Amino acid sequence: MVKTKRAAQRDATQWASARVVSAGSLGVLLAVSATAQDAADTHYGFYGNPGLLDMPTAEMAPNGQLSLSHNRFGPMRRSTLTFQITPKLSGSFSYTGTDDLTDDFDVYWDRTFDLSYQIVDEGVLRPSIAVGLRDIIGTGLLSSEYIVATKSIGERLTVTGGLGWGRLASENSLGLSIGERDETVIETGGTLNSGQWFRGPVGAFGGVSYDLTDKLTLLAEYSSDAYVEETDRGIVDHTSPYNIGLSYAIHPNISMTMAYMYGDTFGFGISGHLNPNNPAYAGGIETAPMPVKHRPSRSADALGWSGAWIEDGRDAPGIRKALAGAMLKEGLTLEAMSLTATKAEIEFRNNRYPAHAQALGRLSRLATRAFPPSVETFVFTEIVHGMPVQSTVIRRSAIEQLEFEPAGEMLAAARFVDPLALPSDPMVRAEGAYPDFNWSVTPYLSATLFDPDSPIRADLGLRGNLSYEFAPGLSLTSTASLKLTGNVDDLETASGDDEALPPVRSNASKYSNQFQLNSLAANWYAHPAENLFTRVSVGYLERMFGGVAGEVLWKKPENAFALGAEIAYVQQRDYEDLFGFQDYDVVTGHVSGYMDFGNGFHGQLDVGRYLAEDWGATLSIDREFNNGWRVGAYATLTDVPFEDFGEGSFDKGIRISMPVDWFIGTPTSETRDLDLNSLSRDGGARLDLSGRLYERVRGAGQAEVEDRWGRFWR
């Protein structure tokens, strides 16, 4: 069933790692479930997704809900991350360890991906019906498929019944078989085992849940899983197909389950939930903006309305200085300004607001207070990395008239254009805008998972970031980390002599030094033509590679799609010498397509050459919430054969980005990121380059601004 211990250990070690950017990202995901206001009635079973105990149900969690659970009974322990992708589609990633399942390991660890789709929702008479797949791209050891129906009877009783294949047909088979099922256990895992889906014998399962109180629920089920492998090994004594348990809601978003399983042993589980749609502080707790200042009557300020004040030439510097000071208090930086008798153009940096519409709203209010009455047109141009990304044209009279109207009316009065498409008056640079120096020091936690000898390894330390912008578009950026404690460097890596690919990522643990210069690069960003953006970076681009990288992006403000291309020449950095290099160098690059599918779903396709000189493509799909949350997954397929890639067969991962303002209620552009990915594999490894153009440009673009326009007046 498994390979030799040495080979299996090497593959499991290299297969995947989890990178937690900033300390406590995973802890935050758990802790916030105790504060977010999201009462969910859906019960999560021992597989970490909607279910009774071991058996699934046809229930779905609230749309967008994230759940993290840990369950154990007998020799098995399972940690699961589940996401309600759409109202009817749920996806789960699990990491399951089983004691003494093989002769090679004390604990055999297996990773599984599950999907469940509700094809019919519950009605007055009809039950909800769902179809599901368990372990769809794993080894096949835990794979099963099912069709299940669930119906509520009254306010307290819920009844479930279903048909299962695979593991869910190993007990109480109905004597019915649909085709032949491939029972092969795939040693490397990671490929779609579609040859097994809904094939072979069919089994029946069912159960009930009954709410004894508002917090305590009785669970009982008939399981169709005989635990064949586990009983053959003598680690499970399966004497009964009946399971019974109790679930207790410690908090509306935290529940605990105790169960007696298979007439053999007790089980325990705990799960926590949060929903990005429900922030910890509904509406936010930031300070109120300045009120709109309405212009006086023409008779009260005849000079101001006439526009003759502009001929003096002494007003503009004073206005510019006063506006810059007021903007600074609002977390905005004035970069440049031009002023005529009827129009004011303002170039600004947004240093605080993740919702760029809120930055525009605050700036609009300040503008009504800063300029004489004759100035009717405001042109606000947001600058990102020195690039003018988008201009928003707003009439002053609209701001005055619509201050207390729904935000949608203000949106209809605004116009978005590429800055280069507008005729512009000569801009005057604001004093102190450049050079601009920023730095920060934060704790970090970097963890690796899935090593059979130590399922979790971690480094804890401090990470420093600095950015020095010499002039618009020209900057020097650096990141360095100081490890205070940890054991990631103890991770065993392959020798490389018997590897089919250059060790571009499998040697990641060798870079886990006490002090690491993660990056040090000079960058040049530009917006040379309408809808066209460029970037060139030179230096130590990431912790393993240095060199030169160039990128170009085409993106129209109103379009849902964008195109980009990147090329880089890089050389592998030395393990010990902060500024040294090794002999390996490579030209790598990709052509990228980006698509906004609507309803918060974004896709990206990158096609090109990777660090190990393999050719292929990466497909990424993210669901993004209009409050900044992002949950997504990606997969990379290249010309590297699965057997050369090793366990996992190809590169894939899950990523979650959590906006800090969602937790604290006050605006900040900071995020906490959790990535579960195959960082330590060599196949499909891409340059880990920060500051790529699409993410920088689209955040201030028309689509993103419109999505969060509801915060314009906040």
Q: What is the pLDDT of residue 196?
A: 81
pLDDT digits 0-9 by tens, 234-245: 888 899 999 999
Determine the straight-line distance between the first and last CA of the chain, rounded to whole angstroms.
Answer: 60
- Cβ pair 605, 618 in contact under 8 A: yes
Work out the pLDDT band at 17, boundaries 50, 70, 90: very low
Q: Which residue has the tokens 């089919």?
A: 500
What pLDDT digit, counting tens, does each position of 374-395 carry?
999 999 999 999 999 999 999 9
Whether 445 shows a pLDDT value over 80: the answer reads: no
Lowest mean pLDDT among 209-223, 287-301, 452-466: 452-466
Q: Is pLDDT of 692 > 80? A: yes
Which amino acid is it at 455? P
Mean pLDDT confidence for 172-180: 82
| Residue-level pLDDT at 105 | 73
CB atoms inside a 10 Å sphere around CB 251:
14
The better pLDDT of the pair 344, 679 is held by 344
What pLDDT is stored for residue 489 in this prediction? 62
What is the C-alpha to C-alpha distance for residues 652 and 193, in angstroms, rounded to an integer?
16
Which residues contact residue 636 at a Cβ distance below 8 angstroms, ignoring those fewer than 6 apart?
610, 616, 617, 618, 619, 650, 651, 652, 683, 684, 686
If pLDDT is split at 50, 70 and 90, which confidence band does 263 have? very high
- Per-residue confidence (pLDDT) for residue 188, from 0 to 100: 54
Vertex 247, ends 244 and 249: CA angle to 5°? 175
Average pLDDT for residues 424-436, to the nearest whole number? 88
Arithmetic mean of pLDDT, 314-318: 83
Strand (E) or helix (H) holding 95: strand 89-99
CA triple 12-16-17, angle to 5 deg: 125
- For the cut 70, the answer to whether the pLDDT of residue 455 exceeds it is no
pLDDT computed for residue 539 by the predictor:
96
Token pair in block for residue 609: 């050459």
Candidate from 267-276, 364-373, 421-430 with smallest mean pLDDT: 421-430
Q: What is the pLDDT of residue 36?
A: 46
Q: Would you place residue 406 in the very low, low, confident or very high pLDDT band (cuts 50, 70, 90)? A: very high
Write down all domains in the chain, each with its CATH number in brackets: 37-274 (2.40.160.40), 302-432 (no CATH), 436-471+473-705 (2.40.160)
pLDDT of 4 strictly over 60: no
pLDDT at 565 over 90: yes
Contact between 110 and 131 under an 8 Å Cβ cutoff? The reply is: no
Q: Which amino acid is at 684?
A: G
Span 349-374, pLDDT tens digits = 999 999 999 999 999 999 999 999 99
pLDDT of residue 1: 35
- Residue among 591, 611, 579, 631 at smallest CA distance from 688: 611
The answer to whether residues 50 and 62 touch, using CB atoms and an 8 Å cutoff, is: no
Question: In the structure, what pLDDT confidence band is assigned to residue 664 with cuts at 50, 70 and 90?
Answer: confident
Q: Which DSSP category does 209 fall into?
A: E
Least confident piece of the model among 313-327, 347-361, 439-453? 439-453
> What average pLDDT does this structure show over 188-207?
82
Q: Supply the pTM of this predicted model.
A: 0.86
Report percent pLDDT > 70 for the chain: 88
Q: Contact at 8 Å (CB) between 42 and 59?
A: yes
Q: What average pLDDT does the segment 194-216 reach? A: 92
